[in-house]
Structure 1
Amino acid sequence: MNEATQLPYFRAAFYCRERKSIPVVRKFTRKALVDWECEERADDVLLCVTELATNALRHGVPPGRGFRVHIYLERMEKAIRIELHDSGDGEVRAADGLPGAEEEGGRGLLLVEALADKWGVGERNPGKIVWCEFTLA
């Protein structure tokens, strides 16, 4: 299910397109933050990685494929960068406004936009990279 790479300030892992991958992504991310002693924004980072992984799972990963999570500690810039790589097509953007109270989805990227210091979408062939960054004190 999970193939992981560990370097001093970089972690990467592959996850299958299945719901049970989401808590494993959170655990993987938390471990990196603890190992790097970067827990000051852990709640924000974990919420955002959960939202990005859920979006990849629901919208970005074609059936039979998976997604990759990359986590970087950029020591010089004092920042954590999270990237989700998927092979799906489609446009990624935050909603223009809040979804209705009865709607189940549509808040994930609004949360990422509110909690992360930066976020964006990069190209990948096939697919895309959705990323977010968190500045550390």
Structure 2
Amino acid sequence: MSTSENEMREKFYPRERQSVPAARKFATGAVADWGFFHRLDGIALCVSELATNALLHGVPPGRGFLLRMRLWEGAVLRVEVHDSGGGVPRVTEGAAGTDEGGRGLVLVAALADKWGVGNGIRANSCGVSSFARAAKPRVARILERSDSGHRVLRRVPVLGRPSN
């Protein structure tokens, strides 16, 4: 697991079909290194959907997309997919049961704690940046005695949002 509280990993992918599974593999490696095991499948699916959207709708021929993953304070993970296209991703309403597409951002919205879209990677660039964010659950530590009389430290997820 990482020792740093704030880290970033990024990788550029060309406009080709193999880039989506490669991006997913890169992302799951970072997710595991950063200890987000409980969110691994959901984050992998978000990366797949955002990368697929970039390839299908945002990356012009001869270009690619950038996958950037940021860890803040050891507890919040942000996944960003940047492309150089001019379109803006949006959730489509009412994809029919036989439609092949139209559900990607619905899945991202359901799996991420927060998601959104912005313009450009930097102020002087063009394109679209999509992101999904996930946080580690808060955990309470409970000291108990086992049946054999030994002290056992148990970690229990805390439900609800932190109070301010």
Give TM-score scaled by structure 1 length: 0.89
Match of 1:54 among 43, 52, 55: 52
Question: Is the contact between residue 84 and residue 131 of structure 1 (CA under 8 Å) also seen in structure 2?
Answer: yes
Q: Whole-Å Cα distance in 1 between the matches of residues 30 and 86 of structure 2?
A: 29
| Paired residue total | 128
Greater relative CO (CA pairs within 8 A, separation 6+): 1
Task: Report SS of the residue matched to 2:54.
Answer: helix
Mind listing any 5+ residue stretches in structure 1 that lack a counterpart?
Answer: 1-7
Q: Whole-Å Cα distance in 2 between the matches of residues 83 and 112 of structure 1?
A: 12
Partner of 2:85: 88
Q: Whole-Å Cα distance in 1 between the matches of residues 88 and 51 of structure 2?
A: 16
2:13 is the counterpart of 1:28: no
Question: Is the contact between residue 69 and residue 85 of structure 1 (CA under 8 Å) also seen in structure 2?
Answer: yes
Partner of 2:130: 130
Question: Is the contact between residue 73 and residue 81 of structure 1 (CA under 8 Å) also seen in structure 2?
Answer: yes
Residue identity opposite 1:33 in structure 2: V
2:120 is the counterpart of 1:121: no
Q: Whole-Å Cα distance in 2 between the matches of residues 38 and 14 of structure 1?
A: 23
Shift of residue 128, structure 1, vs aligned partner: 1.0
2:63 is the counterpart of 1:68: no
Task: Report SS of the residue matched to 1:37.
Answer: coil
Q: Whole-Å Cα distance in 2 between the matches of residues 104 and 33 of structure 1?
A: 28
Residue identity opposite 2:81 in structure 1: L
2:101 is the counterpart of 1:79: no
- 4+ residue runs of structure 1 moved beyond 4 angstroms? none
Query: Deviations along 1:80-116, whole A, 9 cap, x unmatched?
Result: 100001000012111123x101110000000001111
Mind listing any 5+ residue stretches in structure 2 that lack a counterpart?
Answer: 1-5, 138-164
| Root-mean-square deviation (Å) | 1.1
Q: Whole-Å Cα distance in 2 between the matches of residues 96 and 74 of structure 1?
A: 33
Shift of residue 71, structure 1, vs aligned partner: 0.3
Q: Whole-Å Cα distance in 2 between the matches of residues 56 and 102 of structure 1?
A: 22
Q: Whole-Å Cα distance in 1 between the matches of residues 129 and 17 of structure 2?
A: 20
Q: What is the identity percentage for the equivalent residue pairs of Structure 1 and Structure 2?
A: 49
